């Protein structure tokens, strides 16, 4: 809701240049940085100081729960709730219970993963200040962009612009919020 700018956006012409810029800004004490690239860049997230990624963990947990739950459900249904003679087989036919359990494990792990990824990324988010910047559309095509957020304690338009240009930004502009 702040009427101030969203931040200062700069474009770089190669992944290494971008990485160098990130490193440079952080040495200069800037912390609120965002990088937008048309393809995943190795190490960029780390350079920006990424937090722990819980996606894989969420998938593991969900999968395990689903699998175990499925086995339990089958056992309950076939052996406890309504045991019935089918082809002379034992009520608890464990080998036969495995296939559904496997399938459900995978299904729930996958779904959990997607949910986790979207949630952690704060998606879906249908509007974002950056979408107003013409420059930003290049981020999904051929531009490597770096944004210094306005709420960075050390944010000061002139200085930021100066720093970015020093770090070989090919273009710098301010994005309103």
Partner 1 sequence: MEFLRAKLAGKQGTQFWRALEELLEQPQALQCLREAVPQAARLDPVLDRRSFLGLLGASLAFGGLAACSGPPPEQIVPWIRRPEGLSPSQPRFYATTLRVGDDVIGVLAATHEGRPTKLDGNPAHPASLGSTDAMTQAAILELWDPDRSQAPLRHDAIASWDEFLGQAAATARQFAQDGRGLRVLSGRIDSPTLAAQRQEFLQRYPGARWHQYEPVDDDAAQQGTAFVFGKPLCTRHRFDQAQVIVSLEADFLATMPGHVRAARDFAVKRSPTGVPPTMNRLYVMEQTLSLTGANADHRWPMRAAQIAAFVEALAAQIGVPSTRPPAADIAGGLDSAQLRRLKALAQDLQDHRGTSLVLAGAAQPPTVHALAILMNEALTNVGRTVEYFESPEPRESSTDSLRTLAESMGSGMVDTLWILDANPVYTAPVDLLFEERLAKVRNTVHVGLFRDETAARCTWHLPRAHSLESWSDLRTYDGSVSLVQPVIAPLYDVRSLHEIVAFLLGSSRADGREIVRSTWRGQGGLDEEAAWQGALREGVIRNSAPAAFEIHTEPRALPTEQRPGAQGSLDLLFQPDPTVWDGRYANNGWLQELPKPVTQLTWTNAAWVGPALAARFQLHDGDIITVRSQGRSLEAPIWIVPGQAADTLVLPLGYGRRAAGHVGERLGFDAYGLRTSASPWQAVCSIAATGRHVELATTQAHHVIQTGEPLRAGTLLQFRQNPAFMQAAEGAPASLYPERAGGEYRWGMSIDLNSCIGCSACTLACQAENNIPVVGAREVQRGRELHWIRVDRYFRGSPEMPTVHHQPVPCMHCGHAPCELVCPVGATVHDSEGLNVQVYNRCIGTRFCSNNCPYKVRRFNFLQYADTSSPTAKAQRNPDVSVRSRGVMEKCTYCIQRIEEAHIVADRQMRRIADGEVVTACQAVCPAKAITFGDTADPATAVSRQKASPRNYRMLEELNTRPQTSYLGSLRNPHPALQDET
Partner 2 sequence: MSAPARTLAVELEAVTDPVTAIVLERASGRRWMLAFVASVVLTALLGSGIWVLLVRGVGIWGIEIPVAWGFAIADYVWWIGIGMAGTFISAALYLTRQSWRNSLNRYAEAMTVFAVSVSGLFPILHLGRPWFFYWLAPYPNRMALWPQWRSSLLWDFFAITAYLLVSIVYFYVGLLPDLATVRDRARSRGRQVFYGLLALGWRGEARHWQRFETLSMVLAALAVPLVFSVHSMVALDFSEGLLPGWHTTLFPPFFVAGALFSGFAVVLVLGIPLRRYYGLTDLITEAHLDKLARLLLAVGLIVDYSYLSEVFFAFYGGDRYEIAMTLNRLGGAYAWLFWSTIACNVVSIQLLWFPRVRANHAALFTISLTVVVGMWFERFMLIVTSLYRGFLPSSWGMFYPTLWDLGFLFGSIGLFCLLFLAFVRLLPAVSMFELRKSAAQALERPR
Binding positions for partner 2, rule: CB under 8 A: 13-17, 34-41, 44-45, 47-48, 50-51, 53, 55-56, 59, 63, 73-74, 77-78, 81-82, 86-87, 89, 93, 96-97, 99-100, 102-104, 106-107, 109-111, 113-114, 116-118, 120-121, 123-128, 130, 136-137, 139-143
**Backbone φ and ψ of 127, nearest 5°:** -130, 145
Closer CB to partner 2, 10 or 74, in the complex = 74
Q: Which does 55 bind (CB under 5 to 8 A by kind): partner 1, partner 2, none?
A: partner 2
Beta-carbon contacts of residue 16 (< 8 Å; ≥ 6 apart): none
> How far is residue 71's CA from residue 53's CA, in Å, rounded to a whole number?
30
| Alpha-carbon dihedral angle through residues 73, 79, 83, 85, given to the nearest 10 degrees | 110
Q: How far is the CB of 36 from partner 1 (least distance, A)?
A: 50
């Amino acid at each position: 809701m702040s009427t101030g700018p969203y931040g200062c956006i700069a474009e770089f012409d190669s992944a290494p240049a971008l990485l160098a810029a990130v490193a440079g800004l952080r040495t200069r004490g800037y912390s609120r940085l965002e990088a937008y690239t048309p393809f995943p860049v190795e190490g960029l997230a780390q350079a920006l100081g990424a937090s722990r990624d819980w996606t894989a963990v969420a998938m593991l947990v969900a999968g395990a729960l689903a699998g175990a739950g499925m086995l339990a459900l089958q056992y309950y249904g076939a052996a406890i709730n309504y045991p019935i003679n089918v082809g002379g087989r034992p009520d608890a036919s464990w080998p036969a219970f495995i296939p559904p359990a496997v399938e459900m494990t995978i299904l729930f792990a996958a779904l959990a993963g997607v949910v986790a990824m979207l949630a952690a990324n704060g998606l879906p988010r249908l509007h974002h200040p950056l979408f107003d910047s013409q420059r930003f559309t290049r981020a999904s095509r051929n531009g490597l962009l770096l944004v210094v957020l306005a709420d960075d304690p050390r944010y000061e338009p002139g200085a930021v612009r100066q720093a970015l240009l020093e770090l070989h930004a090919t273009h710098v502009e301010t994005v309103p919020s």
